[in-house]
Amino acid sequence: MSGRPIGGTGGGIRRIAARVPLPEWAAIVIAAVALAIGPAAVLGYGRWASRDVITIRALQSGYEPKTVYLTAGVPAHFRLISEDVTHGFAVDGLDVRVDDLLPGHAVDITFTPREAGTYDFTCTRYCGTNHGLMFGQIIVRPTQLPQR
């Protein structure tokens, strides 16, 4: 620490310099934790996942994943991504529709399914010869009531 006054020889503010070096072992531990946690956040199809966001990829060969499970009354957050051509996305019975999923751009939507059931989703834009493969299902489970 330095007790030299700033700005001259008189009283005033004293500069306190403290240097705390980061030990090598701490840097190694931080790097190891980052490497361990990073890949754990990656799920199927190489997408970064969050407990709150469901990523659906649109490809000319179909949607990935083809089946999504939700709970009635719980908001669902989807991130829709087209990886090849312009696609669309609509869910029959849930009032969810996105007409333009442009390649390389993500569209985030939020909706709350009110009733349990199975809902079909499809592509709303002709996207090529495999357009007929552009479908999937959202299975909404009933809300679980707390046990007494």
| pLDDT per residue as tens digits for the range 54-94 | 999 999 889 999 999 999 999 999 999 999 999 999 999 99
Residue 7 inside a domain? The answer is: no
Q: What is the pLDDT of residue 117?
A: 95
Number of domains in the chain: 1
CA 97-124-67 angle, to 5 degrees, is 70
Q: What is the pLDDT of residue 40?
A: 47
Residue 6 inside a domain? The answer is: no
Which of 37-46, 105-114, 137-146 tops mean pLDDT?
105-114
Residue 132 inside a domain? The answer is: yes
Residue 115 inside a domain? The answer is: yes
- Which pTM does this prediction carry? 0.62
Q: What is the pLDDT of residue 51?
A: 58
Residue 130 inside a domain? The answer is: yes
Q: Return the DSSP state at 51.
A: S
Residue 82 inside a domain? The answer is: yes
* Distance between CA atoms of residues 16 and 5, nearest Å: 10
Residue 40 inside a domain? The answer is: no
Tokens of 97: 């529709």
* Distance between CA atoms of residues 76 and 84, nearest Å: 25
For the stretch 69-87, what's the b/e string if a residue is b when 16 or more beta carbons lie within 10 angstroms of its beta carbon? ebeeeeebebbbbbeebbb
Q: What is the pLDDT of residue 42?
A: 42
Residue 84 inside a domain? The answer is: yes
CATH code where residue 101 lies: 2.60.40.420
Domain range for 118: 48-141
